[in-house]
Structure 1
Amino acid sequence: MARLNYCEVESPIGQLLLIAYDENLVRIGLDAEDFVELRAAYSRKYRQTAECFPAAFADAVAQLKAYFAGELRAFSLPVDFGSGSGFRLAVQRFLPQIEYGQTLSYGQIAECLGNPGAARAVGTACALNPLPIVVPCHRVVRADGNIGRYAGGVAAKQFLLRLESAVEKPPAGHL
């Protein structure tokens, strides 16, 4: 039977909540979020109580540590985007294609996905990304180069972009 597990880990941008179901990472909660409510929501979704089981996250924790140490540029973790569908899911699956240290604007992503008028929908998909950091929505910026918003807060997004040396650069060209 598949299990719903979680663990909390420290990071340079604050505490992170990792939730996995059946060995797939399904959620990364950022420090600005309510971890109790996130665990409860996923317990309801999967109809079982989330159990604290840090051993299930050894690979995820190791990869996150390597990322924050500047030693990892792309994650290789099994993930599940959950209930995303349509354009939102297409955006979330596209985000890992944005290279480490690069940024794209919301409009550039919409254009790459064949829907050039959907910059706001790209923003919504990024805001609803269940796997921030691993699925790098922080690499998406406004067309004017402003970094925009982030679920973990602007300071966290600035940190991640600085870590990747992508802050204050104009958006990169198309993929």
Structure 2
Amino acid sequence: MSSPLPYHLFETPLGWIGIAWSERGLTRLQLPERDRAATERRLLATLPGSERGEPVERRDEELPAKIAETVALLRRYAAGETIDFSSVAVDLGNADDFRLAIYDAARHLGFGETTTYGELANRAGHAGLARETGQALGRNPVPIVVPCHRIVAAGGKIGGFSAPGGSLTKEKLLELEGVRVGPPPPAQGSFGF
């Protein structure tokens, strides 16, 4: 059994965010739930616990330098600052080549820049696979760093979002970046900022 996967929870203007990482980079980013405990539960439910040992929470002073930098960037982003996450190392585990291409293309979108699922598929070298692109983004383990919220549906509609709060969360992140899109579909849960 390898060493336990470390994780950290921290408060931001958006709420509590949780992250986990490996020696290769960020492995998970949990967007805010209704409170710290709910964010932690959701984060831990996504961590591969059995083969890595029990996850271990780290305190601020125990964070590796690169992870502390990532936390600082996320706090600044949540406060409305223009942040570029392209330098943040990510460990996407066993993501297949298609997902890796989609995530890489999404990471090339700048702060406040949006594109459609179909156009992102084109940029990733997978023309005609808009639906599959949406599915890949729905499995994105590190939202914000891989900015799946910047991908919108054709016709300027907001499209779906698999994070807590669904499309309302996506709309909030886009507004934080100065982007206004059409009205979201009906709420998909009880979460909302």
TM-score range, shorter chain: 0.7 to 0.9
In structure 2, the residue matched to 1:19 is 20
What pairs up with 1:17-166 in 2 under 5 angstroms? 17-22=18-23, 24-32=25-33, 35-36=40-41, 38-44=43-49, 46-54=51-59, 55-56=62-63, 57-75=67-85, 76-150=87-161, 151-152=163-164, 153-166=166-179
Decide whether aligned partners of structure 1 residues 3 and 128 sit closer, same or farther in structure 2, where only a CA change above 3 A counts.
same
User: Aligned pair count?
Assistant: 169
Residues 34, 64 of structure 1: alpha-carbon distance in 2 compared, 3 angstrom cutoff = closer
Ranked by relative contact order (alpha carbons within 8 Å, sequence separation 6 or more), the top structure is 1
Secondary structure of 1:16's counterpart equals strand
Q: Offset of 1:29 from its aligned partner?
A: 1.3
- Equivalent residue letter for 1:84: A
The change in CA–CA distance for 1:161 and 1:62 in structure 2 (over 3 A counts) is same
> 1:42-80 deviations in whole A, cap 9, x for unaligned?
243642111111332421211111112233421122211
Percent identity of paired positions between Structure 1 and Structure 2 = 36
**What runs of 5+ residues in structure 2 fail to find an aligned partner?**
183-193
1:70–1:40 CA distance, 2 compared to 1 (3 A):
closer
Q: Provide structure 1 residue ranges, at least 5 long, that are not aligned to the other structure.
A: 170-175
Task: Give the equivalent residue in structure 1 for 2:187.
Answer: none
1:73/1:100 contact within 8 Å kept: yes
Any conservation in 1 of the 2:5–2:52 contact (CA below 8 Å)?
Answer: no
Distance across 1 between alignment mates of 2:170 and 2:55: 28
- Per the normalisation by structure 1, the TM-score is 0.85
Report if aligned partners of 2:116, 2:152 keep a CA contact under 8 Å in 1. yes
Q: Secondary structure at the match of 2:15?
A: coil
Bigger mean CA deviation after superposition, 152-161 or 40-49: 40-49
TM, length-normalised to structure 2: 0.78
Q: Which residue of 2 aligns with 1:173?
A: none
Q: 1:37 to 1:14 in 2, by over 3 A?
A: closer
Separation in 1, partners of 2:84, 2:20: 19
Check whether the contact 2:73–2:83 (CA below 8 A) recurs between aligned residues.
no
Q: CA deviation at 1:9?
A: 1.7
Which residue, 163, 169, 180 being the options, matches 1:167? Answer: 180
Q: How large is the Cα RMSD of the aligned pairs?
A: 2.2
